[in-house]
Amino acid sequence: MKIKANILATLSLTALAMPFNGICRNSIVQDIAPYVYPANIPAGVPTMKFMPDGLSYLAANSDNTRIIKYDLATGKEIETVFNAAKTREASISGFESFSISPDGTKLLICLDKEMIYRRSFKAKYYVFEIKRNILKPLSKEHSCQQIPTFSPDGRSVAFVADNNIYLKKLDYDTEVQVTTNGVKNSVINGATDWTYEEEFVSTSTLAWAPDSETLSYVSFDETDVPLYNIALYQGSCNPLNEYALYPGQLSYKYPVAGANNSIVSLHSYDVSTRKTKDITLPDAQIEYIPRIDYTSSSEQLLVTTLNRDQNRIEIYSVNPKSTVVKSLYVEESKAWISPVTYENLVVTSKSVIINSPRSGYNHLYEYSLAGAQLRQITSGDYDVKQCYGVDKAGNVYYQSTASGPLNRVVSKVDVKGKISELSPSGSFSSAEFTPGCEALVLTVSDAVTPPNYTLLNSSGKKIRELGNNADIKSRYAGLPEKRFITINSDGNLLNGYMILPPAFNESREYPVIMWQYSGPGSQEVLNKWALDWEYFAAKEGFIVACVDGRGTGSRGREFETCVYRNLGYYETIDQINAARYMASLPYVDADRIGISGWSYGGYETLMSISVPGNPYKAAVAIAPVTDWRYYDTVYAERYMLTPRANEDGYNSSAPLLKTANVDCELLIMSGTADDNVHMANTMEYVSRLQADGILCDMLLFPNMNHSINGCGARAVVYGKMIDFFKRNL
């Protein structure tokens, strides 16, 4: 709501002495805590690290001091393969995680993790030889390592330390330095830069040849990438005591839209000769190398590349020994290349399977390793979301929306094209397969049923149940009703849901919180167990509604890419139409509708309240982007191109340029150490509001990143949000 200086109310001393409604209320934070992270997490599938034989698995005991081998079919304990109290040569008190060598003879034991960004971390690693019960530090020269990767024969481990690649030869207990030019904020070898980690979901480019004689990798020269500085404070959650009196800072390379990216280069290292070869790719338009994968041949490395606009993908077949490069596959698009195309590339012994949206929906295509299309594996008016792998008989296993966009079904298709569903219909199912796809752990849930975990064989026959979350179902018995809906927005049918207050009465009028994410390819409306703050809000008397507008996923390529070059336009139309639909319902108070969202959802919240005459009385934006010029190159340019190429699109999609239109109560929350959506988005937006004479509420979380979690912070976020809506709706 706009507050002009000449109409500000004068508060009496008595009023100032009274507690302000909603401030310092601890009870709502305590009450909401069981509904939000981490208390709301259902029991996961038991941690099962499959052994190469596909018949057994390893799992840690409850206090992470032992690693036990189990029979996959029966779940019976076979033996303890690692006991921290009984190892030879070196000893540790416990561990955080472990991985298995490809031949199953060794383990990498990880402890003392130190997070770098969202996914990347460095840690202390030890190599454990199972038969000899010998535990040794991975490196004697470096106290912490990143992305340690076993060679296929299990005799070597490549890892990164201080931006350089090292090779540990386990037979000789020797360490060889592969690269020497690694420098912080300048050159990264083997590991990835910030944008690759965040937007290509990749922390490692180390790729071993099948014969273990060649190590290929990508180097990132980020010298010309602008440096971004984030202030760090002492804080109280995992306090940084060194900054008790003077703030410190996190400095890292972050390229905003239109800025310089890291220059990437491809290399191969010969283990025997210790020689490195530089591999030159022929297209000067290549900007990104999101993936490299060996085939079954040590002389064929598949290198996936994208141009800067990310509307052209080319996969090269590279001989790392001769450095000969040949083009294997090219795909171009009028919009962006779907990330699943390069994130879900599946390489078999004789072919490569590509998930492409070329037909209008994402489907699987098989190509020979020479580049010839062999077959289209799947087809139809639905999207394949993930390809899990291929077994020896050529059966392909995948997850799709074949039973509707709100559901997920796990299926297999044989070489003749016959499809068999391995999961129940009308549910949300996913799977984790053993190395050869002989068996799978199937996870199944729906809107009212927590995840159930079952071990199946590759034909879908149940072997045994692994867990059903009966405890969480009983703990949250009597949850408010979740009702799926469909609304019409300018002729487009949109999927949504409502969570209704207990003892819902259609003769009453309820306030509404519209929750959304709205980002390209995303999906919030799913027939999946998703217990969170919404159910608490419903118990507090709100109807919580969510609608997936145009641009979101699982509705085909045209529905998703209509937002290209103009983010926030169709999404805003759809969110406002969804709110007006809710306002038309007889049990909704049309004057008490709010909107909220996190990240892209925070962005869309600000876009929606910037439209004159919008139906919102209050809004909460959490970690919002306020101008795509502030966001990273890979994500922003994928959907918007560069600011120079699409200036009008950037202007029309920026809430920062629309602050004068804001005419509702607004709360913004951000983490001060958000390395993803920088707090500058919030600060610049609030500055514009102030210049326009508009008030808003703001809550900052010192030293918190984009997720704002830890030390009960998530309960504070949602407790504050619901308290804000209670006071303003």
Q: What is residue 523's three-state secondary structure?
A: coil
Specify the pLDDT at position 25: 58
Instruction: Specify whether the CB–CB gap between 377 and 353 falls below 8 A.
Output: yes
590, two tokens: 């049309």
Mean pLDDT for 201-212 is: 98
Angle between helix 569-584 and 600-609 (nearest 10): 70
Whether the pLDDT of residue 4 is over 90: the answer is: no
The answer, yes or no, to whether residue 627 has pLDDT greater than 80, is yes
Residue pair 424/445 in contact (Cβ under 8 Å)? The answer is no
Pinpoint the residues of the chain covered by CATH 2.130.10.10.
46-171
Rounded to 5 degrees, what angle do the CA atoms 145, 147, 153 make?
110
Nearest to 565 by CA among 471, 650, 465: 650
Cβ-contact 661, 576 below 8 angstroms: no
Q: Which two tokens stand for residue 472?
A: 């969480």
- Residue 81 near residue 130, CB atoms below 8 Å: yes
In 10 A of CB 264, how many CB atoms? 22
| Residue 367 buriedness (CB in 10 A; 0-12 / 13-18 / 19+) | middle
Once rounded to an integer, what is the mean pLDDT over residues 91-118? 97
Mean pLDDT value of segment 489-497: 98
> Which of 68-77, 459-468, 470-479 comes out lowest in average pLDDT?
470-479
pLDDT higher than 60, residue 22: no
| Residue extent(s) of CATH 3.40.50.1820 domains in the chain | 482-728
The percentage of residues in the chain with a pLDDT greater than 90, rounded to a whole number, is: 95
Considering only the C-alpha atoms of the chain, give the largest distance between any 2 of them, rounded to a whole number of Å.
Answer: 84
Mean pLDDT of 599-624: 98
CA 190 remoteness from chain centre: 21
For residue 278, give the amino acid letter: D
Does the pLDDT value for residue 516 go beyond 70? yes
pLDDT number for residue 384: 98
Q: Give the per-residue pLDDT at 44.
A: 80
> What is the strand order of the sheet 88-89 is part of?
88-89, 134-137, 121-129, 106-115, 97-100
- Say how far apart CA 243 and CA 256 lie, in whole Å: 28
State what percent of residues in the chain have pLDDT above 70.
Answer: 97
288: which residues sit within 8 A by CB, 6+ positions away?
196, 200, 261, 264, 305, 306, 307, 308, 310, 634
pLDDT band at 47 (very low <50, low <70, confident <90, very high): confident
Residue matched to tokens 């083997």: 190
Task: Average the pLDDT over 169-177 and give the result.
Answer: 96
Helix (H) or strand (E) holding 245: none
pLDDT of residue 486: 98
Place of tokens 């033996």: 79
Average pLDDT over residues 228-235: 98
Confidence tier at 26 by pLDDT (50, 70, 90): confident
181-197 per-position pLDDT tens digit: 999 999 999 999 999 99
Residue tagged 């001989």 (tokens): 319
Chain-centroid distance of CA 370 in Å reads: 33
Give the residue-averaged pLDDT of 195-216.
Answer: 98
Comparing 385 with 4, the larger pLDDT belongs to: 385
- What does the pLDDT average to over 494-520? 98
Domain at 46-171: CATH code: 2.130.10.10
Predicted confidence (pLDDT) at residue 43 exceeds the cutoff of 90: no
482-728 CATH: 3.40.50.1820
pLDDT in tens, 567-578: 999 999 999 999
